[in-house]
Amino acid sequence: MSVTDLTGLTAAQAVAAIARGETDATELFEAYRAAALADELNAYLWVPDGAPDSPPPAGAPLAGVPLAVKDLFCTQGVPSQAGSKIIEGYRPPYTATVVAKLAEAGAPLLGKTNQDEFAMGSSNENSAYGPVLNPWDRARVPGGSSGGSAAAVAAGSAPWALGTDTGGSIRQPAALCGIVGLKPTYGAVSRYGMIAFASSLDQAGPLTRDVADAALLLRHMVGHDTRDCTSVGFPGEIATPSAERLDGIRLGVPEELTGDGIEPGVLDAFHATLELAEQLGATIETCRLPHAPHALAAYYVLAPAEASSNLARYDGVRYGRRAGDGGDLPEMYTRTRSEGFGVEVKRRIMLGTYSLSSGYYDAYYGSAQRVRTKIAEDFRTAFDNFDFVVTPTAPTVAFELGSKVDDPMAMYVNDYCTVPMSLAGTPAISIPNGLSEGLPTAFQIAGPAFSENRILDAAHALESAIGFDASGGRLSRGGMPSTSSGRGAGGPAEL
Ligand code: GLN
475/293: higher pLDDT: 293
Residue 68 has pLDDT above 90, yes or no: yes
How much distance in Å is there from the Cα of 275 to the middle of ligand 1? 31
Within 105-171, strands assigned E span: 109-113, 160-165
Query: Which H or E run includes 208?
Result: strand 203-208
How much distance in Å is there from the Cα of 170 to the middle of ligand 1? 9
What is the position in ligand 1's atom list of the atom closest to the CA of 344? 4
Hey, is 59 helix, strand or coil? coil
C-alpha to C-alpha distance for 399 and 239, rounded to whole angstroms: 35
Residue 46 is given by DSSP the state E
Interval 244-286: pLDDT, tens: 999 999 999 999 999 989 999 999 999 999 999 999 999 999 9
Interval 200-223: pLDDT, tens: 999 999 999 999 999 999 999 999
Residue 475 has pLDDT above 90, yes or no: no
pLDDT at 493: 31
pLDDT at 258: 96
C-alpha to C-alpha distance for 164 and 144, rounded to whole angstroms: 10
Cα dihedral sign, 341-187-123-372: negative
Of 123, 149, 169, 484, the active-site residue reads 169
What is the position in ligand 1's atom list of the atom closest to the CA of 169? 8
Cα dihedral sign, 75-114-34-108: positive
Hey, is 431 helix, strand or coil? strand
Q: Which of 463, 455, 294, 296 is nearest to 389 (CA)?
A: 455
Interval 332-367: pLDDT, tens: 999 999 999 999 999 999 999 999 998 999 999 999
**Catalytic residue list contains 145:** yes
Q: What is the largest CA-CA distance in the chain?
A: 70
**Neighbour tally for 229: CB within 10 Å:** 9
Q: Answer whether 415 contacts ligand 1 (Cβ < 6 A).
A: yes
Cα dihedral sign, 221-227-229-233: positive
Residue 481 has pLDDT above 70, yes or no: no
CA 276 to chain CA centroid, Å, is: 26
Please name every residue paired with 434 in a beta bridge, in sequence order, or none if there are none: 441
Per-residue pLDDT, averaged over 467-481, amounts to 75
How confident is residue 3, by pLDDT bands cut at 50, 70 and 90? confident
Residue 491 has pLDDT above 50, yes or no: no
Query: Backbone phi, then psi, for 278, in 5-degree steps?
Result: -65, -45
CA 309 to chain CA centroid, Å, is: 23
pLDDT at 320: 80
Q: Answer whether 149 contacts ligand 1 (Cβ < 6 A).
A: no
Q: Answer whether 167 contacts ligand 1 (Cβ < 6 A).
A: yes
Q: Answer whether 123 contacts ligand 1 (Cβ < 6 A).
A: no
Q: Answer whether 121 contacts ligand 1 (Cβ < 6 A).
A: yes
pLDDT at 43: 98
Per-residue pLDDT, averaged over 410-422, amounts to 96
**Catalytic residue list contains 70:** yes
Q: Answer whether 169 contacts ligand 1 (Cβ < 6 A).
A: yes
Interval 284-307: pLDDT, tens: 999 999 999 999 999 999 999 999
Question: What is the chain's Cα-based Rg?
Answer: 21
pTM of the entire structure? 0.95
- 157-161, 186-190, 319-323, 379-383: lowest mean pLDDT where? 319-323
pLDDT at 487: 35
How much distance in Å is there from the Cα of 66 to the middle of ligand 1? 26
Q: Which of 449, 326, 317 is nearest to 382 (CA)?
A: 449
pLDDT at 476: 65
How much distance in Å is there from the Cα of 325 to the middle of ligand 1? 34
What is the position in ligand 1's atom list of the atom closest to the CA of 197? 9
Interval 152-163: pLDDT, tens: 999 999 999 999
Kindly give the residue spans of alpha helices, DSSP state H, lying in 64-126: 97-104
Per-residue pLDDT, averaged over 17-32, amounts to 96
Please, what is the average pLDDT of the chain?
Answer: 94
Residue 92 has pLDDT above 70, yes or no: yes
Q: Answer whether 122 contacts ligand 1 (Cβ < 6 A).
A: yes
Angle between helices 11-19 and 211-219 (to 10 degrees): 70
How much distance in Å is there from the Cα of 299 to the middle of ligand 1? 9
Q: Answer whether 320 contacts ligand 1 (Cβ < 6 A).
A: no
How confident is residue 321, by pLDDT bands cut at 50, 70 and 90? confident
- 193-197, 339-343, 359-363, 440-444: lowest mean pLDDT where? 359-363
Of 127, 145, 190, 482, the active-site residue reads 145
